[in-house]
Amino acid sequence: MEQVATTNCTQSLRIHANVERGKFPHIWEECVGSDRAVVGWRDQWLSDLEFVKKGTGMKSVRFHGLFNDEMGVWPSGAKQPNFLYVDMVFDAMLERGVKPFVELSFMPAALASGTRTMLFYRGNTTPPSDMAQWGQLVGVLGKHLVERYGIEEVSRWNFEVWNEPNIVFWAGTQQEYFELYRQSVTAMKGVDKRLRVGGPRPLERAGWGTC
């Protein structure tokens, strides 16, 4: 028995060290956050990935900026996306036993409706000028990943539409985000209904509630 002092009184705390109340979920084993997609090319990042995987047993890694211009996904003037650098990052992760937690962001400049950016690497936070074109990008990505890695593998990944759109990461309106979300889910499920795609839980202090 241990006496615990509070501001107003003393309470008793009884610890039953031999009683198992249930499993203790290791959240850090499910997914960890990293920098942005492009750092996945770096030897130091890959070395750190191996170190953390060994120490924590983490299953997946989530990062921003998969569609940033530095990833070359949709260069200016291109008629269709290119996933060469995406493949390089995902291949390296999978070789080390870590699955991508795929955040679909930010907006390629060629598809963007504006020039508003954030963070030092200038991720474009504006809605697409054509929502259907965004849906095309997401759908082609889903098809490409299934063809490259197989549906049994990719159906175990998580796909998230954007990051915290209720705050500074999204320059559009709530309704524009919902349309972005609809386009993304429709495109992914059009590839295969087993693909797991969802959205973030916006912070209630920003007035969005949950979506």
Q: What is the pLDDT of residue 204?
A: 54
**Residue 202: what pLDDT?**
56
Q: What average pLDDT does this structure show over 96-107?
A: 97
- Taking only the tens place, the pLDDT of each residue in 66-84 is 999 999 999 988 888 999 9
**Residue 106 phi, psi (nearest 5):** -90, -160
Closest CA to 58 of 23, 93, 86: 93
Q: Where are the domains of the chain?
A: 25-206
Query: Percentage of residues in the chain with pLDDT exceeding 70?
Result: 91
Q: pLDDT band at residue 4, thresholds of 50, 70 and 90?
A: very low
Q: Which amino acid is at 116?
A: R
Torsion of CA 199, 200, 201, 205, to 10 degrees: -130
Cα–Cα distances (Å) from 59 to 62, 132, 177, 207, in that order, read: 10, 33, 29, 33
CATH fold group of domain 25-206: TIM Barrel (3.20.20)
Question: What pLDDT is attached to residue 18?
Answer: 86
